[in-house]
């Protein structure tokens, strides 16, 4: 069995004034997995990913990433292996130009300048944002800022990529391009953790779901199992994807045999049924 790259044991976390955010959370994530941390707004999922990234410290319990405690002095050496993209790109972009934001991480790690230039050129082309490189981030559209935020994380070729609500407020084209980019990276071995309440995007972003509500883990399992589990979704205050709702009704009437999770799967199932 593959050793986990993330191990979380019985963590608790409260914000100042005693606001409890997470209670007795334990889980494991292995290299190369695509994981969704699913829950409604305020469930504690964003707090959990900040703890995994070592940006917050648990009040009790233990988190290990790459077999190193996030509270240890050595953990800072591993930060270059972790890319994180915040929900609000304005929390991530702070320099006068796009290119300076993208090159900030490598420069901070003292990577040779010629290597930085090569890497930044490659990531600008990959994200299709070369035309934005000299623009000030605050002058960009929200979708453009999202792309730049992702580029700042991807330039370091992270082994672990953590995304907080990556599809929020994106138009359909930007959303599709973002999902494709994340999945291309995962195919190279990068572990991807997506914190979201967007059940429609999860089938294309995750193979396994960890579901959280009110700071507690309600359950975990394969994506197709969790998204068809009406009971656990209801407990978390969530609805299944629209395609699952539709085909669940069709299955009740014996019109189909399989419940698809994506539109493409739904098309294939209908064509198979109707021909």
CA dihedral 155, 182, 36, 236 (to 10 degrees): 110
Q: Residue 4 — φ and ψ, nearest 5°?
A: -70, 145
Are the CB atoms for 194 and 205 separated by under 8 Å? yes
Are the CB atoms for 147 and 96 separated by under 8 Å? no
267 three-class SS: helix
Question: Over its length of 275 residues, how does the chain's per-residue pLDDT go in tens digits?
Answer: 567 999 999 999 999 877 889 999 999 999 999 999 999 988 999 999 999 999 999 999 999 999 999 999 899 888 889 999 998 999 999 999 999 999 998 998 888 988 999 999 999 998 889 999 999 999 999 889 999 999 999 998 899 999 999 988 888 888 888 899 899 999 999 999 999 989 999 999 999 999 999 999 999 999 999 999 999 999 999 999 999 999 999 988 888 888 999 988 999 988 888 88
What ranges in the chain are assigned the alpha helix state H?
Answer: 45-52, 98-108, 113-126, 142-154, 172-187, 202-205, 223-226, 230-235, 242-252, 263-274
Cα three-residue angle 236-237-238, rounded to 5 degrees: 95
Residue found by looking up tokens 């291309």 in the block: 184
SS3 letters for 101-166?
A: HHHHHHHHCCCCHHHHHHHHHHHHHHCCCHHHCCCCHHHCCHHHHHHHHHHHHHCCCCCEEEEECC
Residue found by looking up tokens 């990276």 in the block: 185
The Cα-based distances of 272 to 7, 60, 253, 261 in angstroms read 42, 53, 17, 16
The Cα-based distances of 66 to 111, 268, 272 in angstroms read 22, 40, 45
pTM as predicted: 0.91
What six digits make up the tokens of 253? 């009437």
Task: Go through the chain and tell me how many residues it has.
Answer: 275
Query: Distance between CA 65 and CA 75 in Å, rounded?
Result: 8
């Amino acid at each position: 069995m593959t050793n986990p790259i993330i191990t979380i044991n019985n963590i608790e976390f409260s914000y100042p004034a005693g606001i409890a955010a997470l209670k007795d959370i334990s889980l494991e994530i292995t290299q190369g997995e695509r994981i969704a941390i699913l829950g409604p707004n305020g469930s504690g999922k964003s707090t959990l990913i900040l703890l995994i990234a070592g940006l917050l410290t648990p009040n009790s319990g233990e988190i290990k990433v790459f077999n190193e405690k996030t509270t240890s002095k050595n953990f800072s050496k591993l930060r270059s292996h972790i890319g994180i993209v915040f929900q609000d790109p304005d929390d991530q972009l702070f320099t006068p130009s796009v290119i300076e934001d993208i090159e900030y991480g490598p420069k901070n790690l003292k990577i040779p300048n010629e290597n930085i230039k090569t890497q930044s050129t490659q990531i600008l082309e990959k994200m299709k944002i070369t035309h934005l490189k000299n623009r000030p981030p605050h002058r960009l559209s929200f979708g453009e800022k999202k792309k730049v935020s992702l580029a700042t994380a991807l330039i370091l070729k992270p082994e672990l990529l953590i995304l907080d609500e990556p599809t929020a407020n994106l138009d359909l084209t930007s959303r599709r391009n973002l999902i494709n980019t994340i999945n291309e990276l995962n195919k190279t071995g990068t572990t991807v953790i997506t914190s979201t309440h967007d059940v429609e995007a999860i089938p294309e972003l995750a193979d396994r779901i960890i579901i959280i509500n009110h700071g507690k883990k309600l359950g975990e399992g394969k994506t197709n199992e969790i998204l068809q589990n009406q009971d656990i979704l209801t407990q978390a205050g969530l609805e299944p994807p629209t395609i699952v709702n539709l085909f669940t009704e069709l299955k009740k009437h014996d019109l189909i045999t399989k419940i698809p999770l994506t539109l493409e799967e739904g098309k294939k199932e209908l064509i198979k049924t109707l021909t």
